[in-house]
Structure 1
Amino acid sequence: MSDHEITEPVPLTDDRGRLNPASIGWARQQLHDTDGVGRGCYGWGRTKRWEYWGIVTPTHIFALTIGGLDYANVRQVWVLERATLTAIDAFEISPLGRGLSMTGTHGAGVNTSRGRTIDLRFEDSDAGTRLLARTPRVQVEVLAETRPGHEAMGLASPHSRFLVDYTVKDVDRPTTGTITIDGVRHDASGFAVLDHARSRGPYRTDWNWGAAVGEVDGKRIGINLGGGGPDGLRNGISHTGVTIDGRVHKIPTVLEWEFDPSNWMAPWRMTTDRMELTFTPFYDRYARTNLLLIRSTTHQCFGVFTGRVQTDEGEWLTIDGLEGWAEDVHNRW
Structure 2
Amino acid sequence: MPVRPQPVSEREITAPVPLTSADGRLNPDAVGWTRTPLLTTDGVGRGRLGRGRNKRWEYWAVTTPTHVVALVTSDIDYAAVHGIWLLDRATGESVAHDAIGVTGRSATLPGTLGHGPVRSRTRRLRIDVEEVEGGTRLRASGPRVEVDVVAHRPEGHECLGVVVPWSDRLFQYTVKDVARPATGTIRLDGLAADVPAGESWATLDHGRGRWPYDVRWNWGAGAGRTDGHVVGIQVGGRWTDGTGSVENSLYVDGHLSKISEELVWDYDRDDWMAPWRVSGASVDLAFTPFHLRRSVTDLRVFASRTHQCFGHWAGRVRDDSGTWVRVADVVGWAEDVHNRW
TM range (shorter): over 0.9
Given candidates 271, 275, 278, the residue that maps to 2:283 is 275
- Report if aligned partners of 1:233, 1:239 keep a CA contact under 8 Å in 2: no
Given candidates 181, 186, 208, the residue that maps to 1:198 is 208
Given candidates 92, 99, 114, the residue that maps to 1:107 is 114
Unaligned runs of 5+ in 1: none
Given candidates 95, 99, 108, the residue that maps to 1:92 is 99
Given candidates 42, 51, 58, the residue that maps to 1:51 is 58
Given candidates 10, 14, 18, the residue that maps to 2:17 is 10
Deviation at 1:2, TM superposition (A): 3.5
Question: 1:289-308 residue pairs with structure 2 within 5 A?
Answer: 289-308=297-316
Distance 1:234 1:133, change over 3 A: farther
After TM superposition, where is structure 1 displaced by more than 2 Å over at least 4 residues in a row? 232-235
For the residue of structure 2 that corresponds to 1:22, the secondary structure is helix
Deviation at 1:126, TM superposition (A): 3.8
What letter matches 1:200 in structure 2? Answer: R
Residue of structure 2 in register with 1:245 after alignment: 253
- Report if aligned partners of 2:164, 2:246 keep a CA contact under 8 Å in 1: no
1:104-128 deviation per Cα after TM superposition (whole angstroms, max 9, x unaligned): 0111120111001100010013411
Q: 2: CA distance between counterparts of 1:94 and 1:139?
A: 21
Residue of structure 2 in register with 1:80 after alignment: 87
Question: 1:169-208 residue pairs with structure 2 within 5 A?
Answer: 169-189=176-196, 190-208=200-218
Deviation at 1:99, TM superposition (A): 2.0
Residue of structure 1 in register with 2:175 after alignment: 168
Residue of structure 1 in register with 2:226 after alignment: 216
Given candidates 258, 262, 265, the residue that maps to 2:270 is 262
What letter matches 2:277 in structure 1? Answer: R
For the residue of structure 2 that corresponds to 1:98, the secondary structure is helix
- Report if aligned partners of 1:2, 1:25 keep a CA contact under 8 Å in 2: no
Q: 1: CA distance between counterparts of 2:103 and 2:222?
A: 34
Q: 2: CA distance between counterparts of 1:207 and 1:85?
A: 26
- Report if aligned partners of 1:54, 1:194 keep a CA contact under 8 Å in 2: yes
Say whether residues 1:235 and 2:243 are aligned partners: yes
Q: 2: CA distance between counterparts of 1:325 and 1:89?
A: 17
- Report if aligned partners of 1:169, 1:196 keep a CA contact under 8 Å in 2: yes
Given candidates 45, 67, 74, the residue that maps to 1:38 is 45
Deviation at 1:134, TM superposition (A): 0.6
Distance 1:286 1:234, change over 3 A: farther
Deviation at 1:93, TM superposition (A): 0.5
- Report if aligned partners of 1:26, 1:154 keep a CA contact under 8 Å in 2: yes
Residue of structure 1 in register with 2:5 after alignment: none
Q: 2: CA distance between counterparts of 1:122 and 1:85?
A: 27
Distance 1:146 1:197, change over 3 A: same
1:69-92 deviation per Cα after TM superposition (whole angstroms, max 9, x unaligned): 111101100001011100101100
- Report if aligned partners of 1:304, 1:324 keep a CA contact under 8 Å in 2: yes
Q: 2: CA distance between counterparts of 1:96 and 1:61?
A: 29
Deviation at 1:218, TM superposition (A): 1.6
Taking structure 2 as the reference length, the TM-score comes to 0.95
- Report if aligned partners of 1:126, 1:146 keep a CA contact under 8 Å in 2: no
Unaligned runs of 5+ in 2: 1-7
Q: 1: CA distance between counterparts of 2:128 and 2:283?
A: 36
Q: Give the count of matched residue pairs.
A: 331
Q: Which has the higher contact order (CA 8 A, sep 6+)?
A: 2
